[in-house]
C-alpha cells in the first residue's frame, strides 16, 4: 500500500529534489522491512561473535522472528515499481487491485520469477480471454515442472541430504557425487518451480518471462548469469550494477561494481556468511573472466564453467563455513571411494541423464502442441508414477 501511494506521489511531484526524497524514502522503508525480518538476527549474531573475539562481554538479544512468505521476491517487485516511475519508464496505476495482483500474483509470489510492473500491469488491466492453446502449453509446462521437482530434485535430495548429514562417515567419492548432484538438484528444484509458475500463468492467460535457459550449457560466467535466475540477475543489473556505474567508469570501477553486485546478490539469498562467500566467488569469476581472455574449445569451456559453479554450490548448500571447507578438503584429497546403495545411485545417474536428454533434444517441448509433445508428456507422467519421491520436500527457494 505504501509503494502504491509512493508511486502516485513520485509521478505527481514536479520538484526533482522532493521527487528523489520520496524515492529514497520508499527504498529505505522497503529495505528496512526486509532487513528486519531477514537479516536482523544475522547481524546481531555476527556482532556478538565479533565482540567476543575481542574479549568483550556482549550478548545482544536474538529475536524469534518469523520470515514472511516470499518477502524477498515481492519486495523486489514493489521496489522496481517505484524506481521505474521515478525514471519515467512507467506511469503509476490508479487501479489498486491490479497493482496488488502484480505484487502478489500467487504462482510467482514465493519463489519468482521477479516481474516488472511495466511487463505485468498491462496484462492484468487488459481483459483476458480463455486461450485453449495457451492453457495446453501451460499444463504441459506444469507437468515438466513436477517432473523436475518431484522426480529428479527430490530423488537427488535423498542421497545429498544423507551425505551432507554424515560427512565424517561418508567416503570422499560419495561426497564428490553429492556435490555434483546438488548442482542438478537446485537447478531442477528451482527451474521446476518456475515451470509450474509459468505454466499456471499461461492457464490464467498471463505469460511470464522465462527465468532459466539451460544455464549449465554456458561457456562462461557472464553467459551463466544471463541464463540462471534471469529475473534476479537482470534486476540486480538494472537496479544495482548500472546505478553503481556499470562499466562506464573504467576497468577497476567495473570490477568493483561487479563484485559488490554479486556479493549483495549472495546476501539477498539469505542471512549467512556462506551466501556472501557464494556471491563473492561468482563476482571473482566474472572479474577473472574479464582479465583472462583464453579461448577454450566449447566443450571444455562448458565443463570448466559447470565445474567452478558446482564448487560454489558447496557454500550454498552447506549449513556452515566449516562444513564447506571440510567438503572441499575431502573432494580434493580423494582417499576413499566406496559408494553404498549402488542401485539407488544408478537410479540418480539415470535421472540426470534423462534430464540432459530432455534439455538437449526436447528443450521447451511444451511450446509445441503436436504428437511429439504429447508423447513426451506421457513419458514424463510415467516417470512421475515410477520415480516420484513423496518426501514432502519444500522448494529450496521458499527459504529466500
Residues taking part in catalysis: 269
DSSP string, 4-22: HHHHHHHHH---HHHHHHH
* 7 contacts 45 by C-beta, under 8 angstroms: no
Burial (CB count within 10 angstroms: exposed 0-12, middle 13-18, buried 19+), residue 307? exposed
d(CA 218, CA 183): 14
Cell readout for 168 is 565424517
User: How many CB atoms lie under 10 A from the CB of residue 112?
Assistant: 27
Q: Are 247 and 234 in contact (CB under 8 A)?
A: no
Instruction: Give the contacts of 74 (CB within 8 A, at least 6 positions apart).
Output: 103, 104, 109
314 phi and psi, to 5 degrees? -60, -45
- 40-44's contacts with Cβ under 8 Å and 24+ in sequence apart are 40/65, 41/65, 41/271, 42/271, 42/272, 43/271
Asked whether the beta carbons of 210 and 230 are under 8 A apart, the reply is yes
Question: What's the CA gap between 233 and 210, in Å, rounded?
Answer: 12
> Helix 132-146 crosses helix 172-203 at what angle (to 10 degrees)?
160
CB-CB contact of 13 with 25 (8 Å): no
d(CA 278, CA 317) in angstroms, rounded, equals: 10
Amino acid at each position: 500500500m505504501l509503494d502504491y501511494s509512493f508511486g502516485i506521489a513520485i509521478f505527481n511531484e514536479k520538484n526533482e529534489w522532493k521527487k528523489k526524497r520520496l524515492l529514497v524514502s520508499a527504498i529505505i522503508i522497503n529495505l528496512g522491512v526486509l532487513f528486519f525480518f531477514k537479516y536482523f538476527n544475522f547481524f546481531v549474531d555476527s556482532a556478538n561473535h565479533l565482540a567476543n573475539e575481542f574479549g568483550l562481554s556482549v550478548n545482544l538479544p536474538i529475536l524469534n522472528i518469523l520470515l514472511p512468505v516470499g518477502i524477498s521476491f515481492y519486495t523486489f517487485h514493489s521496489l522496481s515499481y517505484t524506481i521505474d516511475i521515478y525514471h519515467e519508464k512507467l506511469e503509476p496505476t490508479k487501479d489498486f487491485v491490479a497493482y496488488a495482483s502484480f505484487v502478489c500474483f500467487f504462482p510467482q509470489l514465493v519463489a519468482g520469477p521477479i516481474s516488472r510492473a511495466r511487463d505485468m500491469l498491462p496484462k492484468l488491466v487488459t481483459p483476458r480471454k480463455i486461450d485453449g492453446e495457451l492453457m495446453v502449453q501451460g499444463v504441459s509446462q506444469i507437468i515438466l515442472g513436477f517432473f523436475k521437482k518431484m522426480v529428479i530434485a527430490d530423488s537427488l535430495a535423498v542421497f545429498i541430504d544423507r551425505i551432507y548429514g554424515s560427512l565424517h562417515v561418508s567416503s570422499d567419492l560419495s561426497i564428490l557425487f553429492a556435490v555434483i548432484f546438488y548442482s542438478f538438484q537446485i537447478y531442477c528444484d528451482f527451474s521446476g518451480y518456475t515451470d509450474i509458475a509459468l505454466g499456471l500463468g499461461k492457464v490464467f492467460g498471463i505469460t511470464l518471462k522465462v527465468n532459466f535457459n539451460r544455464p549449465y550449457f554456458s561457456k562462461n560466467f557472464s553467459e551463466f548469469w544471463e541464463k540462471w535466475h534471469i529475473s534476479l540477475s537482470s534486476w540486480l543489473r538494472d537496479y544495482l550494477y548500472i546505478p553503481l556505474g556499470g562499466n562506464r567508469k573504467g576497468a577497476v570501477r567495473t570490477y568493483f561494481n561487479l563484485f559488490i553486485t554479486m556479493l549483495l546478490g549472495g546476501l539477498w539469498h539469505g542471512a549467512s556468511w556462506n551466501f556472501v562467500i557464494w556471491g563473492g566467488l561468482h563476482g571473482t569469476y566474472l572479474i577473472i573472466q574479464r582479465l583472462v581472455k583464453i579461448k577454450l574449445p566449447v566443450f571444455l569451456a562448458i565443463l570448466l564453467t559447470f565445474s567452478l559453479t558446482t564448487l560454489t554450490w558447496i557454500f550454498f548448500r552447506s549449513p556452515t563455513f566449516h562444513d564447506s571447507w571440510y567438503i572441499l578438503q575431502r573432494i580434493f584429497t580423494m582417499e576413499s571411494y566406496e559408494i553404498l546403495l549402488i542401485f539407488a545411485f544408478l537410479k540418480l545417474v539415470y535421472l540426470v541423464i534423462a534430464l540432459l536428454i530432455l534439455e538437449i533434444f526436447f528443450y521447451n517441448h511444451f511450446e509445441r502442441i503436436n504428437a511429439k509433445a504429447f508423447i513426451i508428456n506421457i513419458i514424463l507422467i510415467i516417470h512421475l508414477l515410477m520415480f516420484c519421491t513423496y518426501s514432502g520436500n519444500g522448494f529450496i527457494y521458499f527459504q529466500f
